[in-house]
Amino acid sequence: MSPNSPLGTNAAGTVVASGATLDLAGFTLGITESLTLSGTGSAGSNGALINSGSATTYSGLITLGAPTTIYSENNIILSSIGTITGSGFALTLDGAATGSSLASTIGTIAGTVTKAGAGTWTLSGGNTYSGDTTISAGTLSVTGTLGSGGIYSANISNSGTLSIGTTTQRLSGIISGTGALEKAGAGTLILSNANTYSGATTISAGTLSVTGTLGSGTYSNNISNAGNTFNWNDYPKIKRNYFRNRSS
């Protein structure tokens, strides 16, 4: 690949068909060509869009032509501030890299958005997709928002870590699974449903407001807040409580 024009001119756009893979190979491209992605990639590649080289940035707009996997063996910064579209299709963000990020808005996607692999993907856009979210491994860090206006009503299945950052975010669906929940930024996270997750809850900054419940049955994990720990083992449900970080 040439670092300046590996995909030709930016007018035509590039289609990565199901069973094919585009490897950015560490190049930061000098064009903003749009991509239409489909599928999980060629055999052994792990994704339709991957990066096997050093950390790289891609600024073109992405459209899903089918359920699609983007795989970050090394960091991929997807910097377009446009909207990822593909009505009804699922998007999987996979890989072991810990610094990959997606600035685009995940828009008209009714399928599930999945975070797979041991790494970290950060969503910094104002995402409006209506499908469920699954964290099967690793960390999904949300520094933008989920749901229109920061209100996300779909369910979240979490077997890794969900980290919510600096913006105000309401999660009105059910959070389930064994994974951890972190409130990591200066904003406010509002949990308004009967959540059933059993992982640890950490408030490292900002505010956690619980107008629904944390978990179901006996809640046997700790909530840590700015170095302090509150053990709620004796309470079957935690309801209508409000927590604020001391520094906020």
Q: Where are the alpha helices (DSSP H) in 115-196?
A: none
With bands split at pLDDT 50, 70 and 90, how would you rate the model's confidence at 244?
A: very low
If you average pLDDT over residues 170-182, what whole number do you get?
96
Closest CA to 94 of 118, 62, 71, 121: 71
Residue 239 has pLDDT above 60, yes or no: no
Residue 243 has pLDDT above 80, yes or no: no
Residue 241: is its pLDDT beyond 70? no
Place of tokens 């509150």: 230
For the ranges 59-73, 75-89, 145-159, 223-237, which has the lowest average pLDDT? Answer: 223-237
Give how far Cα 232 sits from Cα of 209, 214, 215, 226, 244, Å.
16, 11, 11, 17, 17
Q: What is the pLDDT of residues 33-75, one digit of tens each?
A: 899 999 999 999 999 999 999 999 999 999 999 999 999 999 9
Tokens at residue 18, please? 């199901």
Query: Looking at per-residue confidence, does 240 or 178 come out higher?
Result: 178
Which residues contact residue 198 at a Cβ distance below 8 angstroms, ignoring those fewer than 6 apart? 177, 178, 215, 219, 220, 221
pTM here is 0.87
End-to-end CA distance of the chain: 48
b/e string for 211-245 if b means 16 or more Cβ within 10 A? ebbbbeeebebebebeeeeeebeeeeebeeeebee
Residue 171 scores a pLDDT above 60: yes
Among candidate residues 98, 99, 93, the one with its CA nearest the CA of residue 64: 93
Summarised one tens digit per residue, pLDDT across range 94-110 is: 999 999 999 999 997 88
Give Cα 37 to chain centroid, integer Å.
Answer: 18
pLDDT number for residue 152: 97
Q: Give strand pairing partners of 151.
A: 170
Closest among 13, 111, 126, 125 to 69, alpha carbons compared: 111
Domain residue limits, the chain: 1-138, 155-248
Q: Tell me if residue 150 falls in helix, strand or coil.
A: helix
pLDDT averaged over the chain? 84
